[in-house]
């Protein structure tokens, strides 16, 4: 009996020790409080923050050849870039910057639609396109009041919403203002759930900001909110521009405008216009119809402009076709009294056809790579001979 009691006591003692040892092995640090470790991080310099946070650098290459079929030919080769930078706090974006430029070599000039400024450019030239700053949410609710200062598309038509710096077909009628971009400052933002607005003062000088006595241009545009584009494929706007601009081409074409403009080519200008674009998705691809119609005055001549374009993009986004008709009419009856039977024509008009093969064509337009063949058939010219202009373009933006 005594041996049994001793054996039982010994077994219980060994079991208790084993259990305690196992418990200790299972969680040896159960009573130790874990403390977070702080990993030292090297602070970023201001240059690292500038070029890493909300910063984008895009590259651009273009090679373009044009001919009129009358022994006239031209070449344009360029390499460029676009810098986009935004400055933000933890809760909102404060400032956005955009600069876009390219170094260009030109040999000859045939009047391709996307290089009308090349007529007066030297063989080598560094040209800038976008150069502006946006200040966000200056007052009211988010998006209601934003400011812009710098160089960007003239706020007339769909160019504000469509970057055409790389395409051959342009959405602005070259005869309307004499330039598609200008230096300006003003405000843009959300007017209501359905509308947005743009209100600006423009220098009216075109490529280079200069003042030679012109008062500049005041511009206002009201357009549909972005939700209509995303939900219904619809864009539309109404714009008004008035004031004075510098335009030697306008005075050269019209003796009556020249008489009013004076030696500094200051043209008293008024324009009002409507624009719209509608996309229809089909099983094979997307059809897009675009129209811009405007009218007004280059004092003392009345002017009317039209631009209509139809685009088809294959569902694979590998190829597309486009056709465009543009028309500019100017009342020359006053000129007939000035120059008799030698009055210039009242109309500039052209028809374009274009085919594009895309190597890459993402929806955000941040990676574009294509070859385009474009033909312009000039139906009427205010000055000079009518031509058929062929343009072949290779373009890459990434």
The CATH number linked to 251 is 2.40.160.10
62: Cα within 13 Å, side-chain hemisphere:
26
Quick one: tokens of 201?
């003062």
Quick one: tokens of 308?
């209509």
Residue 342 lies in a domain: yes
Quick one: tokens of 133?
């700053």
Pairing of strands 234-246, 266-281: antiparallel
C-alpha distances (whole Å) from 65 to each of 78, 81, 105, 238, 375 are: 12, 21, 12, 36, 12
Residue 354 confidence (pLDDT): 98
Tokens 């955009």 -> residue: 98
Cβ neighbors of 259 (< 8 A, separation 6 or more) are: 338
Count of the separate structural domains present in the chain: 1
Quick one: tokens of 123?
């063989």
Residue 73 lies in a domain: no
Quick one: tokens of 208?
């280079």
Residue 3 confidence (pLDDT): 44
Of 355, 353, 335, the residue nearest 345 (C-alpha): 335
Is 237 within 8 Å of 274 (Cβ atoms)? yes
Residue 190 lies in a domain: yes
Residue 219 lies in a domain: yes
Residue 41 confidence (pLDDT): 64
What burial class does residue 108 get, using C-beta atoms within 10 Å of its C-beta: 0-12 exposed, 13-18 middle, 19+ buried?
middle
Residue-wise pLDDT for 72-100, tens only, equals: 899 999 999 999 999 998 888 999 999 99
Q: Which long-range contacts (CB under 8 A, 24 or more apart) does 114-118 make?
A: 114/164, 114/167, 114/168, 114/169, 114/170, 115/64, 115/74, 115/76, 116/174, 117/179, 117/207, 118/74, 118/76
Residue 18 confidence (pLDDT): 46
pLDDT in tens, the chain (398 residues): 444 444 444 454 444 444 444 444 455 555 556 555 555 567 777 777 777 789 999 999 999 999 997 778 999 999 999 999 999 988 889 999 999 999 999 999 999 999 988 988 999 999 999 999 999 999 989 999 999 999 999 999 998 889 898 999 999 877 899 999 999 999 999 999 999 999 999 999 999 999 999 999 999 999 999 999 999 999 999 999 999 999 999 999 899 999 999 999 999 999 999 999 999 999 999 999 999 999 999 999 999 999 999 999 999 999 999 999 999 999 987 655 555 555 567 899 999 999 999 999 999 889 999 999 999 999 999 888 899 999 999 999 99
Residue 312 lies in a domain: yes
Residue 163 lies in a domain: yes
> CA angle 359-131-394, nearest 5°?
20
Q: Helices marked H in the chain — which ranges?
A: 2-26, 46-50, 174-177, 226-232, 248-253, 255-261, 333-339
Question: What is residue 216's DSSP assignment?
Answer: -
d(CA 40, CA 377): 67
d(CA 368, CA 370): 7
Question: What is residue 115's DSSP assignment?
Answer: G
344: Cα within 13 Å, side-chain hemisphere:
21
Quick one: tokens of 327?
């028309």
> 241-280: string of b/e by CB count within 10 Å (b at 16+)?
bbbbbbbebbbebbbbbbebbeeebbbbbbbebebbbebe
Residue 104 lies in a domain: no
Give residue 120's region: left, alpha or beta (phi > 0; psi -120 to 50).
Answer: alpha
* Structural domain of 337: 133-397
Residue 17 confidence (pLDDT): 45
d(CA 334, CA 236): 35
Residue 51 lies in a domain: no
Q: Helices marked H in 31-80 — which ranges?
A: 46-50
């Amino acid at each position: 009996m005594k041996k049994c009691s001793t054996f039982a006591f010994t077994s219980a003692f060994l079991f208790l020790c084993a259990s305690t040892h196992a418990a200790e092995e299972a969680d040896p640090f159960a009573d130790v409080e874990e403390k977070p470790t702080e990993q030292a991080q090297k602070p970023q310099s201001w240059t690292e923050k500038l070029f890493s946070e909300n910063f984008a650098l895009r590259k651009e290459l273009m090679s373009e050849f044009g001919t009129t079929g009358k022994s006239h030919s031209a070449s344009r080769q360029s390499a460029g870039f676009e810098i986009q930078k935004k400055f933000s706090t933890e809760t909102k974006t404060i400032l956005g910057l955009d600069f876009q430029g390219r170094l260009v070599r030109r040999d000859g000039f045939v009047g391709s639609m996307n290089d009308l400024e090349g007529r007066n450019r030297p063989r080598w030239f560094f040209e800038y396109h976008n150069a502006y700053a946006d200040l966000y949410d200056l007052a009211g609710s988010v998006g209601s009041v934003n400011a812009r200062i710098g160089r960007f598309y003239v706020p007339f038509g769909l160019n504000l919403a469509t970057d055409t710096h790389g395409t051959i077909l342009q959405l602005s009628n070259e005869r309307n203002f004499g330039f598609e971009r200008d230096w300006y400052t003003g405000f843009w933002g959300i007017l209501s759930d359905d509308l947005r607005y743009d209100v600006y003062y423009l220098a009216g000088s075109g490529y280079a900001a200069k003042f030679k006595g012109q008062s500049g241009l005041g511009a206002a545009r009201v357009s549909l909110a972005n939700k209509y584009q995303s939900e219904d494929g619809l864009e539309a706007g109404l714009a008004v521009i008035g004031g004075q601009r510098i335009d030697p081409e306008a005075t050269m074409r019209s003796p009556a405008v020249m008489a009013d403009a004076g030696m500094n080519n200051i043209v008293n200008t008024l324009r009002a216009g409507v624009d719209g674009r509608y996309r229809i998705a089909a099983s094979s691809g997307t059809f897009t119809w675009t129209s811009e119609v405007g009218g007004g005055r280059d004092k003392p001549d009345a002017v009317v402009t039209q631009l209509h374009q139809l685009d088809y993009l294959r569902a694979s986004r590998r190829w597309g076709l486009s056709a465009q008709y543009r028309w500019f009419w100017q009342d020359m009856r006053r000129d007939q009294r000035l120059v008799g039977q030698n009055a210039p024509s009242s109309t500039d008009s052209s028809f374009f056809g274009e085919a594009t093969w895309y190597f890459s064509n993402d929806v955000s337009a941040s990676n574009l790579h294509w070859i385009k063949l474009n033909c312009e058939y000039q139906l009427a010219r205010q000055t000079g001979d009518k031509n058929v202009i062929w343009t072949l373009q290779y373009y890459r933006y990434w």
